[in-house]
Amino acid sequence: MSAGNTDRPEQPEASSLSERIARWEAEHSTTSAGNSKMGVPKNGFALAGRVTTELVSGLVVGAFIGFWLDKWLDTAPLFMVVLFFVGAVAGMFNVWRALSGKGMAAGYFDEQSSGDSTEQAETKKGES
């Protein structure tokens, strides 16, 4: 192959590529009307569908596990009733997480204490 091969197009400079990527991201980030960063759907029907799914799935899973335990342990409707309500609570908790923007975040996040720690750090800086 010769050094003057004209079959391949010339590679753009890295800076122009970065500029094009930044321009594309700016254009597409403003036009996306789907979900916000926190995972809460902006569309009313999507939000209603998610809330309904979270509530129904909690109830169904709780009742199914309770029914299975009752059948396995030969106890009347004890576990089914208890786990039905546990599933209802789990479904409501999932709805709260979906509406508050917690999404699939794992663990406990205390918003006030995290905000207080940054304020305390700033106060200590100012006192020094």
Q: What is the pLDDT of residues 24-63, one digit of tens each?
A: 888 877 555 555 555 556 678 888 888 899 999 999 999 9
Sequence spans of domains, the chain: 43-105
Is the pLDDT confidence value at 90 over 90?
yes
**pLDDT confidence of residue 81:** 94
Closest of 14, 84, 78 to residue 56, by C-alpha: 84
Could you report the per-residue pLDDT of 107-125, keeping only the tens digit for each?
655 555 555 555 555 555 5
- Per the listing, tokens 């335990």 go with 69
Listed in sequence order, the DSSP H helices in 1-128 are 14-31, 44-73, 78-100, 111-127
Could you report the per-residue pLDDT of 62-89, keeping only the tens digit for each?
999 999 999 999 988 899 999 999 999 9
Q: Which residues pair with 41 in a beta bridge?
A: 35
Quick check: 85 and 63 in contact, CB under 8 A? no
Residue 98's pLDDT band, with cuts at 50, 70 and 90, is confident
Which tokens sit at 1? 């192959």
Closest of 94, 91, 103 to residue 35, by C-alpha: 103
